[in-house]
């Protein structure tokens, strides 16, 4: 029996600017991630692969072809992409005066931007970047693709974050990124600018992509991986708190400054994207493994969404929200939850010698793994979708889901199995509104470089030719018919 998806279901793929834009046209050199992957010490210590984004797929110039294959090759009606904050604002916006309100804890709670400030931001934006992004969004619309625009997909301008200085001595570094509330205020300015400048072409926004990954891989990182490569539970919690506040102030700005509707989702439907994984204790009979798995699930899957939707900022991570940890004034809105799901992790108790709450280690179960050494567990997608809806009662998009498969042997099965679980979740009553596969094409996979191949289309790094994998016709049939074959 054929399984049909709801009418109006969005079928798409996901990309991010830093990972796909470079390779053709002007490189974007003014972000923390650019500095991180080009740093000689990071390359020497194998913190990063040595690959660099300027050898990427070249979507800055080749986006018309990318949108064509998304629409015609994959039968998609949507696409998720991001903008490069540092490309739009290579020079600081810190001089633009805005109103900043702080709460009793000293945290930014509101950013007030008027027309004068907005016009000053527009005068500072790089005009070529603005022009190309408008052309990009217009081309997607003309091809029949609804855009989900991610405002923050990891790189931030180097005038806000010097990851090398932070790596070497974070206490004395002058530009500390998400450790400092300056970045929250500047993110609000960027969100206001984006909504005002591109709002006639976009109705569906994700403020922040995978805040937990930014915190975990950047500030709970041993060995180092993402910028700035620190290990500090205290810094982790500061960054997660600031990213939660960043969502709140960005939500305010997008709702205020996007006043035009491009679709039935308009003027602005605004959510946040979190990676939700399935966690199990390595040994269910070991109480310490069970406790560690519960803690990891709480920290990794739950903490951020609790802060965004309920105003619960559980600073000490004890699972009990004390009066001083309740901040309902920080709850602005979250129109949907974007769920990125990839894998299952087994959690074991592993003493580290520091804060005992963080005495854990993650790993896959023995068996056949993906190229990135991840377990394949489609049932976990149904589980986390049901969990997210039961707890937060928001519409959901699956905003990333994919596999590293350089030999193109398992991608078709991965796609079909996960979509089967997604459809089962819809039958369970979960309001899933769309699915975005990661990724449209092979791209620059952060510290791993080009070794990890997630693309439905392979990319020749020299010619930039896009070549379909075996999953392309399968996904095209599903998206075009809005059905999953039995």
Catalytic residues: 210, 400
- Whole-number Å distance between alpha carbons of 472 and 486: 18
Residue 117's alpha-carbon distances to 114, 193, 328, 373, in angstroms, are 5, 10, 28, 47
- In degrees and rounded to multiples of 5, residue 239 shows phi and psi of -65, -45
Q: What does the angle CA 333 – CA 176 – CA 252 come to, to the nearest 5 degrees?
A: 20
The answer to whether 245 and 330 have CB atoms below 8 angstroms apart is: yes
The answer to whether 189 and 112 have CB atoms below 8 angstroms apart is: no
User: And the tokens for 20?
Assistant: 């796909």
**Residue 288 buriedness (CB in 10 A; 0-12 / 13-18 / 19+):** middle
Helices (H) then strands (E): counts for the chain: 16, 17
- Whole-number Å distance between alpha carbons of 457 and 235: 38
Helix axes 59-68, 127-142, angle to 10 degrees: 10
> H or E stretch including 87?
helix 85-88
């Amino acid at each position: 029996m054929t399984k049909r998806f709801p009418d109006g279901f969005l079928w798409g793929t996901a990309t991010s600017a830093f990972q796909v834009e470079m390779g053709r046209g002007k490189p974007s050199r003014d972000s923390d991630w650019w500095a991180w992957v080009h740093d000689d010490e990071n390359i020497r210590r194998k913190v990063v692969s040595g690959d660099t984004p300027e050898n990427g797929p070249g979507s800055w110039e080749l986006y018309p072809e990318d949108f064509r294959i998304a629409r015609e090759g994959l039968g998609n009606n949507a696409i998720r992409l991001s903008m490069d904050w540092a490309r739009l604002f290579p020079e600081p916006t810190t001089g633009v005066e805005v109103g900043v309100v702080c709460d009793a804890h000293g945290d930014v709670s509101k950013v007030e931007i008027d027309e004068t400030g907005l016009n000053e931001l527009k005068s500072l934006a790089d005009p070529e970047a603005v022009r190309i992004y408008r052309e990009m969004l217009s081309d997607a619309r003309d091809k029949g693709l609804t855009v989900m625009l991610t405002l923050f997909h990891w790189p931030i301008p180097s005038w806000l974050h010097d990851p090398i200085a932070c790596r070497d001595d974070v206490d004395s570094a002058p530009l500390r990124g998400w450790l400092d509330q300056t970045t929250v205020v500047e993110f609000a300015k960027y969100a206001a600018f984006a909504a005002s400048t591109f709002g006639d072409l976009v109705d569906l926004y994700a403020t922040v992509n995978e805040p937990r990954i930014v915190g975990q891989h950047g500030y709970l990182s041993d060995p180092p991986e993402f910028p700035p490569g620190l290990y500090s539970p205290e810094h982790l919690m500061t960054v997660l708190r600031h990213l939660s506040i960043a969502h709140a102030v960005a939500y305010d700005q997008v709702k205020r400054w996007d006043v035009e509707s491009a679709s039935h989702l308009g003027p602005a439907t605004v959510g946040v994207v979190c990676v939700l994984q399935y966690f199990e204790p390595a040994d269910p009979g070991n109480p310490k493994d069970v406790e560690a798995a519960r803690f990891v699930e709480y920290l990794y899957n739950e903490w951020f969404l609790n802060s965004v939707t309920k105003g619960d900022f559980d600073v000490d991570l004890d699972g009990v929200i004390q009066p001083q940890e309740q901040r309902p004034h920080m709850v602005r809105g979250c129109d949907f939850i974007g769920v990125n799901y990839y894998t299952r992790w087994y959690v074991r108790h592993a003493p580290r010698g520091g804060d005992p709450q963080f005495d854990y280690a993650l790993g896959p179960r023995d068996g056949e793994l993906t190229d990135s050494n991840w377990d394949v567990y489609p049932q976990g997608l149904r589980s986390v979708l049901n969990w997210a809806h039961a707890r937060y009662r928001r519409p959901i998009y699956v905003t990333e889901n994919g596999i590293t498969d350089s030999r193109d042997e398992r991608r078709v099965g991965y796609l079909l199995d996960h979509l089967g679980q997604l459809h089962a979740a819809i039958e369970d009553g979960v309001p899933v509104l769309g699915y975005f596969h990661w990724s449209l094409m092979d791209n620059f996979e952060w510290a791993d470089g080009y070794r990890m191949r997630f693309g439905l289309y392979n990319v020749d790094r020299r010619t930039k030719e896009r070549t379909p994998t075996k999953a392309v016709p399968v996904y095209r049939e599903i998206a075009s018919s809005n059905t999953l074959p039995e």
